[in-house]
Amino acid sequence: MTPSVPMLKVENLQVGGDGFLVVDKVSFTIGQGESFGIAGESGSGKSTLLLSLMGMMRPGLRNLGGSVRLNGSPMLGQSDAALASVRGSKIALIPQNPATALNPSRRIGTQIAEALLLHSALNPRARAMRVLDLLSMVRLPEPTVAARRFPHELSGGQLQRAAIAMALAGAPEVLLLDEPTTGLDVTTQAALLDLLIDLRHRSKVGMVCVSHDLGVLARLCDRIGVMYAGAIIEEGPLASVLARPGHPYTQALVASIPRLTSVGPPAPIQGSPPSLFDLPSGCRFAPRCALVQDACLGQPPDLTSAADNHKIACLRAFTAPAPVVNASVAALEKATSVLAVEKLSVGFAKHGIFDRKTPSSVVDAVSFTVAKGEVLGLVGESGSGKSTILRAIAGLAAPTAGQITLMSSGRTEILAARATARPLSQLRSVQLIFQNPDASLNPRHRVLELLAQPLILYGQVPRSQLREKAADLLDQVRLGPATLDRMPAQLSGGERQRVAIARAFAARPDLILCDEITTALDVSVQAAVLELIRNLARKHDVGAIFVSHDLAVVRSIADRIAVLHNGTIVEINDAQELCARPVSPYAQRLIGSVLDIPA
Partner 1 sequence: MATVLLERIGLALITMIIIVVVVFFALELMPGDACSVNLGRGASDSMLAACQKRLGLDQPAVWRFAAWAGDFLTGDLGISMQRDRPIAEVVGWRLRNTLILAGLTAAIGIPLALGLGVLAGLNPDGPLDMTISGIAIFAMTVPEFISGTLMILLFSVILGWAAGVVTIGYKAPALDLLKASVLPAATLIFILAAHILRMVRASVIEVMQSDFVQMARLKGVPHRRIILHHVLPNALLPAISIIGLTMAWLLGGVVIVESVFNFPGLGRLAVDAVADQDLPLVQAIALLFGFIYVLTNLGADLLALTLNPRLRTRRK
Rounded CA separation 522/149 (Å) = 33
Identity of the residue numbered 23: V
Number of residues that bind ligand SF4 (CB under 6 A): 13
246 neighbors 314 (Cβ within 8 angstroms) = yes
**By CB under 8 A, is residue 81 in contact with partner 1?**
yes
Which class for 247: exposed (0-12), middle (13-18), buried (19 or more C-beta within 10 A)? buried
Contact assessment for residue 517 and residue 345, using Cβ atoms and an 8 Å cutoff: no
Q: Please report, as residue ranges, which positions from 357 to 416 form the binding site for partner 1 (by CB under 8 A).
A: 357
Q: Quick check: 332 binds ligand SF4 (CB under 6 A)?
A: no
Give min distance, CB of 594 to ligand SF4, in A. Answer: 30
How many helices and strands, by DSSP H and E, does the chain display? 21, 22
Please report, as residue ranges, which positions from 27 to 66 form the binding site for partner 1 (by CB under 8 A): 51, 54, 56
Query: What is the identity of the amino acid at 296?
Result: C
Nearest partner of 138 among 159, 153, 122, 117, judged by Cα:
159
CA quadruple 386, 153, 87, 93: dihedral, nearest 10: 10
Asked if residue 248 binds ligand SF4 (CB under 6 A), the reply is yes
- Binding to partner 1 by CB under 8 A, coded x per residue (else -) over 112-151, reads --xx--xx------------------------------x-
Note whether 292 binds ligand SF4 by CB under 6 A. yes
> Is 78 one of the binding residues for partner 1 (CB under 8 A)?
no
Query: Per CB under 6 A, does 316 bind ligand SF4?
Result: yes
Q: What is the separation, in whole angstroms, between the first and last Cα of the chain?
A: 21
Select from partner 1, ligand SF4, none the partner in contact with residue 353, using the beta carbon and a kind-dependent cut-off of 5 to 8 Å: partner 1
Q: How far is residue 390's CA from residue 383's CA, in Å, rounded to a whole number?
A: 13
Q: Check binding of 315 to ligand SF4 (CB under 6 A).
A: yes
The interface region with partner 1, picked from 2-10, 111-119, 269-277, 295-303 by CB under 8 A, is: 111-119
Site string for partner 1, 417-436 (x = CB under 8 A): --------------------
Alpha helices per DSSP H over 417-559 = 424-429, 437-440, 447-459, 463-476, 493-506, 523-540, 551-557
Q: Which does 285 bind (CB under 5 to 8 A by kind): ligand SF4, partner 1, none?
A: ligand SF4
- Closest by CA to 580, choosing from 557, 561, 564, 553, is 561
Give yes or no for residue 232 binding ligand SF4 (CB under 6 A): no
Options 218-226, 288-296, 525-533, 580-588: segment touching ligand SF4 (CB under 6 A):
288-296
Count the Cβ atoms, other than its own, within 10 Å of residue 472.
14
Nearest to 146 by CA among 181, 102, 91: 102
Q: Which range touches partner 1 (CB under 8 A), out of 34-42, 198-206, 352-360, 574-582?
A: 352-360
How many residues are present in the chain?
Answer: 599
Q: Is 279 in the site for ligand SF4 (CB under 6 A)?
A: no
Q: Should residue 301 be labelled a site residue for ligand SF4 when binding is judged by CB under 6 A?
A: yes
| Among the listed residues 168, 169, 229, 314, the single contact to ligand SF4 using CB under 6 A | 314
| Residue 529 contacts residue 478 (beta carbons within 8 Å) | no
Binding residues for partner 1, total number by CB under 8 A: 36
Between 321 and 410, name the residue whose CB sits nearer to ligand SF4. Answer: 321
Question: How would DSSP label each residue in 393-439?
Answer: HHTSS--SEEEEEEEETTEEEEPPSSGGGS-HHHHHHEEEE-S-HHH
Q: How far is the CB of 236 from ligand SF4 (least distance, A)?
A: 16
Among 170, 265, 301, 395, binds partner 1 (CB under 8 A): 170
Binding site residues, partner 1, CB under 8 A: 51, 54, 56, 80-81, 83-89, 92-93, 95, 97, 100-107, 114-115, 118-119, 150, 152-153, 166, 170, 353-354, 357
Name the residues that contact ligand SF4, by CB under 6 A: 247-248, 283, 285-286, 289, 291-292, 296, 301, 314-316
